Chain A
Amino acid sequence: MLSAEGIVVGYRKGVPVLDGVDLHITPGETVGLAGPSGCGKSTLAKVLCLLLRPWKGRLRMDGEVITGFRHDAPAALRTRVGVVFQQPRLAVDPRLTLREIVAEPLLANGFPASGVIGLANRVGLTGELLERRPHEVSDGQLQRACLARALALRPRYLVCDEMTAMVDASSTAGLVRVVREQASDLETGVLAISHDDALLDVWADRVERLG
């Protein structure tokens, strides 16, 4: 289980964005997180992926209390939580091809890059698209590459931070379908953050509200 207990965190001293937030995700479960923009959904997502150290509160992953964040956390713990961000254009290195983007976590952890094809097929990126660079593909196609990257190391938890906000309806349906398959096949615990209630209604097992 991935659980955040009494998280207090912000970006400026004395101005907490989150003030005592609790959230639990069990493997295989999809938790929706709803709330207006600016309520701290993305901040909570960063804490859960070990990218932002909370001022107060505790983060526990599979019984273990997390003490280090960002590079202070061991790679094995960081990679246990996959993440997909809202804006695919900003979430990829513009110089790399989609193949290199998806392969990055595999290579960084000493795995062969041969797994890329399977991952790409899984999100529906076909051969030739993989050789292109971010500016040559649409937002939807790029977000699929980001999802493939997040799934590359078979994370036990997956945080989708407004994954579908920048893409059109068809891409949204496609991305969510892949995440759902992942959740049911590999027992992945998913945090689905969105401001679209209609989407969370069909996607999440239960919906938490923030703000």
Chain B
Amino acid sequence: MTEVLLDVHALSVRFQLGRRGRRGVVRAVSAAGFELRAGAVLALVGESGCGKSVLAAALLGLLPANAEVRGRATMDGLELLGAQEKTLAERVRGRMIGLVPQSAASHLTPVRTARAQLVETVRALRQDVADAPAFADDLATRVGLDPATLRLYPHQLSGGTAQRVALSLALAGDPRVLLADEPTVGLDRPLVEHVVDTLADLSTQDKAVLMITHDLAAARRVATHVAVMYASRLVEFGPAGAVLADPWHPYTGALLDALPDGRFRPIPGDPPELTALPDGCAFCQRCPAMPGYPPCTGEATMRRFGDRFVAAHPPAAIPEYGPLC
């Protein structure tokens, strides 16, 4: 088996609203656990507002000040959640984990050219590179960008080009994990495919990609593994082919049913509020509309069956390996 790059264990994030949570507590991520192995493209999917982006922000120490975390996230022997800001800035961000942000154009400085920002990033992250401008051109070429377009300012870039500039920025520090937060939102279908294909190409032998998206079609195209998140919890995790072809959790099934090339059926009702989550299975209110699944055990945590994990809906025919964690 390949090397585990990022090991996330029982990661929870909550936000206190008002002083000391007087106006409620938002449980954005509850006891999420997964591992990211070299060569994998892990797609973290779920409806908007389920806590996907918060999970990503927690890994990079980019949560707002009213957030609280617990659990573990280790990479290269380094505990990310408890790390000092100095460690995160000097060792993690850009060097161990590269971030490809949502709506890339707004993450670029409007008054400087793409090249100026890329060269600056290279200089900051790679003291070993002597010729930063040449290295920048090289990075651009790797993500399928004509180096000539780098002389443009961010507002002159189209959405897809800006996304690729952001991708090259994320690659500058040669990180082993690329974290892409909704990299395809607002892009055309051909551009979406181009961006996710480029991302997938970057997960080589010793690298991995964690792609956060609500675009199941994009996930299906490139992901090797899929993690499905619902109302702050992971409900299903496993190899992409198996999970998407034969979902065990009714929520995964419902997401697939909602696709235009599926049955194009909306999931009835709304997800629960993250301030008032039930203790057990949170999908039960919407579950009865999804026939054909084994009955819900009401258990919130995922259990392991072979190489797949699922919460609350254990498959009848497959022996359980024991709980996750």
Name B's A-contacting residues (CB within 8 A).
Answer: 47-49, 158-159, 185-191, 214-217, 254-255, 258-261, 264-267, 270
Chain B residue contacts of A202, Cβ below 8 A: 260-261, 264
A sample of 27 inter-chain contacts (CB < 8 A) reads A36-B188, A37-B191, A38-B158, A138-B48, A139-B48, A140-B48, A166-B185, A168-B47, A168-B214, A168-B258, A169-B259, A170-B266, A170-B267, A171-B266, A172-B258, A173-B264, A173-B265, A174-B266, A176-B264, A195-B189, A196-B189, A197-B189, A198-B217, A198-B261, A199-B260, A202-B261, A202-B264
Closest CB of chain B to A200's CB: distance in Å?
9
| B48, B190, B215, B261, most chain A CB atoms within 10 A | B48
Give residues 159-211 of A contacting B (CB, 8 Å).
Answer: 165-174, 176-177, 195-199, 201-203
Given A138-B48, A168-B47, A169-B255; A196-B186 close (CB under 8 Å): no
Could you tell me how many residues of chain A have their Cβ less than 8 Å away from some Cβ of chain B? 30
Give residues 118-149 of A contacting B (CB, 8 Å).
Answer: 126, 129, 138-141
- The answer to whether A36 and B190 have CB atoms under 8 Å apart is yes
Task: Determine the main DSSP class of A at the interface with B.
Answer: helix
Give bound CA distance, A168 to B266, whole Å.
10
Give bound CA distance, A198 to B217, whole Å.
10
Q: Which of A167, A195, A201 contacts B48 (CB 8 A)?
A: A167
Name A's B-contacting residues (CB within 8 A).
Answer: 36-38, 86, 126, 129, 138-141, 165-174, 176-177, 195-199, 201-203
| A86, A129, A165, A195, most chain B CB atoms within 10 A | A195
Closest CB of chain A to B23's CB: distance in Å?
12
Chain B residue contacts of A172, Cβ below 8 A: 258, 260, 266
Given A36-B188, A140-B48, A166-B185; A173-B217 close (CB under 8 Å): no
Give bound CA distance, A29 to B38, whole Å.
50
Give bound CA distance, A165 to B48, whole Å.
13
- The answer to whether B266 and A173 have CB atoms under 8 Å apart is yes
Give bound CA distance, A169 to B270, whole Å.
13
Closest CB of chain A to B245's CB: distance in Å?
17
Give bound CA distance, A169 to B256, whole Å.
8
Give bound CA distance, A199 to B189, whole Å.
11
Give bound CA distance, A174 to B259, whole Å.
11
Closest residue of chain B to A175 (Cβ to Cβ) is B266
